Amino acid sequence: MMEGSGALDLVLSGDPALYAIVRLSLVVSLSAVALAALIGVPLGGLIALTRFPGRAGVIVLLNAFMGLPPVVVGLAAFLLLSRSGPLGSWGLLFTPTAMVIAQAALITPIIAALTRQSVEDLWSEYRDELNAMGVGPLNRLLTLLYDARIALVTVLLAGFGRAAAEVGAVMIVGGNINGFTRVMTTAIALETSKGDLALAMGLGFILIAIVFAINASAWALRYYAERRIG
Amino acid sequence: MSDLPLTFAKVSYAVGATPILRDVDLVVRAGAPTFIIGPNGSGKSTLLRLAMGLIAPTSGAIDWNGSRDPAPRRRAIVFQHPVLLRRSVAANLIYALDQAGVEKSKQDRRCTQLLDLVGLIDLASRPARRLSGGERQKLAFARALARSPELLILDEPTASLDPSATLALEQLIAKAARDGIKILIASHDLGQVRRLAGEIVFLHRGRVLESAAMKDFFEQPRTAQASAFLRGDLISEE
Per residue in A35-74, pLDDT (tens digit) is 999 999 999 999 999 999 999 999 999 999 999 999 999 9
The superfamily CATH assigns to domain A16-194 is MetI-like (1.10.3720.10)
Residue B193 to residue B180: CA distance in whole angstroms: 18
Q: Domains plus CATH for chain B?
A: 1-74+151-169+182-238 (3.40.50.300), 82-149 (no CATH)
**pTM for this entry:** 0.90
Interchain proximity B130–A143, CB inside 8 Å: no
Interchain proximity A133–B82, CB inside 8 Å: no
Exposure of A180 in the CB half-sphere (CA atoms within 13 A): 12
Residue A93 near residue A81 (C-beta atoms within 8 A): yes
**Interface test with chain A among B86, B131, B132, B135, by most A beta carbons within 10 Å:** B86
Return per-residue pLDDT of chain A as tens, 230 residues.
456 677 777 777 878 888 899 999 999 999 999 999 999 999 999 999 999 999 999 999 999 999 999 999 999 999 999 999 999 999 999 999 999 999 999 999 999 999 999 999 999 999 999 999 999 999 999 999 999 999 999 899 999 999 999 999 999 999 999 999 999 999 999 999 999 898 899 899 999 999 899 889 888 888 888 777 76
**Interface test with chain B among A119, A127, A131, by most B beta carbons within 10 Å:** A131
Interchain proximity A228–B127, CB inside 8 Å: yes
> Mind giving me the DSSP string for A184-219?
HHHHHHHHHHHT-HHHHHHHHHHHHHHHHHHHHHHH
Q: Does A124 touch chain B (CB under 8 A)?
A: no
Burial A152-188 (b: 16+ CB within 10 A, else e): bebbbbbbbbbbbbbbbbbbbbbbbeeeebbbbbbbb
pLDDT band at B238 (very low <50, low <70, confident <90, very high): very low
Shortest Cα–Cα distance, B160 to chain A (Å): 19
Interchain proximity A229–B85, CB inside 8 Å: no
Interchain proximity B52–A132, CB inside 8 Å: yes
- Amino acid present at B109: R
Residue B90 to residue B183: CA distance in whole angstroms: 25
Nearest CA in chain B to A123: B83
Bridge partners, residue B64, by sequence: B6, B67
- Amino acid present at B154: L
How confident is the model over B3-10, as a mean pLDDT?
95
Interchain proximity A126–B49, CB inside 8 Å: no
Bridge partners, residue B211, by sequence: B201
Residue A102 to residue A92: CA distance in whole angstroms: 11
Mean pLDDT score across all residues of chain B: 94
Domain range summary for chain A, segments of one domain joined by +: 16-194
Interchain proximity A132–B129, CB inside 8 Å: no
Shortest Cα–Cα distance, B63 to chain A (Å): 16
